[in-house]
Amino acid sequence: MNADVSTDNPVLQDRFGRTIDYVRLSVTDRCDFRCVYCMAEDMTFVPRAQVLTLEEMARLARVLVQLGVKRIRLTGGEPLVRRDVAHLVHNIGAIDGLRELNMTTNGAGLPRHAQALKAAGVDRLNISLDSLDPERFRALTRTGDLHKVLAGIEAVGHAGFRRIKLNSVILRGRNQDEVPALVDFALERGLDIAFIEEMPLGAISEHDRALEFVSSEALRNQLSQRLTLVPMAEKTGGPSRYWQVLGSDSRIGFISPHSQNFCHLCNRVRITAEGRMLLCLGHEHSVDLRAVLRAHPTDDVPLRQAIIDAMAIKPERHDFNLAPGEQLVRFMNMTGG
Ligand code: SAM
Ligand code: SF4
């Protein structure tokens, strides 16, 4: 049953009885990196007029929280390349009823933004880091400078965030050999780290996703030879599972959209920078919330209703396929990772 706009404590529920209380909001589709698994080398970005203004994003966030959303993650593209993003963070962080405001970033902007993000209310940060070798890092991100990202990780270490997690997409023959070093890097700094299976989002020619795919299970076996990993009971409502590293505060996660399917526990939706609510990472089912926001600039009722109605088209599950021609056309930077 879906929520009613008039109830005091509405909850977003889909046809399969899942409660949606987590939203990933893409602040921009633009980025200063061009990671080989996320983007093509030559990208066309959405014209600025089509991207939600920061005020529209904050309004949308407020309405989502009124509808029962407890956690919002700001992502992209790269959220830190959007001008005045700290202002947006501050406005969303101040929404009554929001339990957690998080951000996923490539880290390059953190030396400049870390303190402001913490002051503005960001609880948890995810920072992407696929290699500790500057040349490899450059090859994987095409434009990224590892030293800036390492300086960013250093800066957030001093800023007092509740939890910092590194995210690494692992590709066979590219950075799989660095998995132990990335884990050591995280453990030495008291950080968590999650390894992500590559997803077939967007047509790329840089590599064959099927050939470079590494499963979470293979990585866990690789790591279990040198660390004792204790499975954690906590459920994330997504395709990630965490293991505590015995003798350390750090946790190692494996994000397995391919090899594990946790769709029956899915608690989330995504909103693109243009205000399109995507009901599932692996499908195109979506609702244009920008049109509603702009048609009713001062009345939130139609927006609330559109969000509630959207729950009816949330697909039951995704079904990723790595075969060429079967991959989704939507790139990850459009999706809001
Ligand atoms: N720019 C920020 C960053 O890189 O952290 C936030 C956006 S990025 C799209 C979010 C996450 O998605 C990153 O950790 C990135 O590594 C991951 N990602 C991007 N494309 C992916 C793909 N095709 N498969 C799996 N993960 C992907
Ligand atoms: Fe940019 Fe993040 Fe995509 Fe890399 S993964 S290109 S940093 S949006």
CA distances in angstroms from 171 to 222, 294, 314, listed in the order given: 14, 42, 30
From 18, 38, 7, 42, select the one nearest 332 (Cα to Cα): 38
| CB-CB contact of 251 with 242 (8 Å) | yes
Question: How far apart are the CA of 167 and the centre of ligand 2, in A?
Answer: 11
The pLDDT, as a whole number, for residue 329 is 56
What average pLDDT does this structure show over 169-198? 94
Strand ranges in 170-267 using DSSP code E only, listed in sequence order: 192-196, 229-231, 240-245, 251-255
Sheet strands side by side (includes 71-76): 229-231, 240-245, 251-255, 192-196, 163-169, 124-128, 100-105, 71-76, 22-28, 268-271, 276-278, 286-288
Cα of 22 vs centre of ligand 2, distance in Å, is 21
For 235, list phi and psi in degrees, rounded to 5: -100, 140
CA of 6 to the centre of ligand 1 (A): 37
Query: How many percent of the chain have pLDDT more than 70?
Result: 89
User: What CATH architecture is 22-335?
Assistant: Alpha-Beta Barrel (3.20)
Please, which pLDDT band fits residue 2 given cuts at 50, 70 and 90?
very low
Q: Which residue has the higher pLDDT, 251 or 214?
A: 251
Ligand showing the shortest atom-to-Cα distance for residue 129? 1
> How does the average pLDDT of the chain come out, rounded?
89
Q: Is the CB of 332 under 6 A from ligand 1?
A: yes
Give burial (CB, 10 Å; 0-12/13-18/19+) of 194: buried
Cα–Cα distance, 243 to 278 (Å, whole number)? 29
Domain extent listing, the chain: 22-335
Is pTM beyond 0.75? Reply is yes
Residue nearest to atom 21 of ligand 1 (CA): 38
Residue identifier of the C-alpha nearest atom 17 of ligand 1: 337
270 contacts 277 by C-beta, under 8 angstroms: yes
pLDDT at 183 over 70: yes
H, E, C per residue of 269-282: EEECCCCEEECCCC
Q: What is the pLDDT of residues 193-236, one digit of tens each?
A: 999 988 877 777 777 777 778 888 999 999 999 999 999 987 66
- What is the tens place of the pLDDT at every residue in 276-304? 999 998 788 899 999 999 999 999 999 99
Ligand 2 pocket, 333 CB below 6 A?
yes
Q: Among 12-21, 50-59, 68-77, 282-291, which is the least confidently predicted range?
A: 282-291
Q: Is the CB of 38 under 6 A from ligand 1?
A: yes
Residue 199's pLDDT is: 82
User: Which tens digits make up the pLDDT trace of 63-110?
Assistant: 999 999 999 999 999 999 999 999 999 999 999 999 999 999 999 999
* 147 class by beta-carbon count within 10 Å (0-12 exposed, 13-18 middle, 19+ buried): exposed
What percent of the chain stands above pLDDT 90? 71
Instruction: Please report the pLDDT score of residue 158 as a whole number.
Output: 87
Q: Is 199 in the pocket of ligand 2 (CB under 6 A)?
A: no
Identify the pLDDT of residue 27: 97
Q: Looking at per-residue confidence, does 159 or 337 come out higher?
A: 159
Report the distance separating Cα 209 and Cα 13, nearest Å. 34
Does residue 117 surpass a pLDDT of 60?
yes
Nearest CA to ligand 1 atom 11: 337
Distance 97 CA to ligand 2 centre (A): 30
Quick check: 77 and 106 in contact, CB under 8 A? Answer: no
Q: Is the CB of 286 under 6 A from ligand 1?
A: no
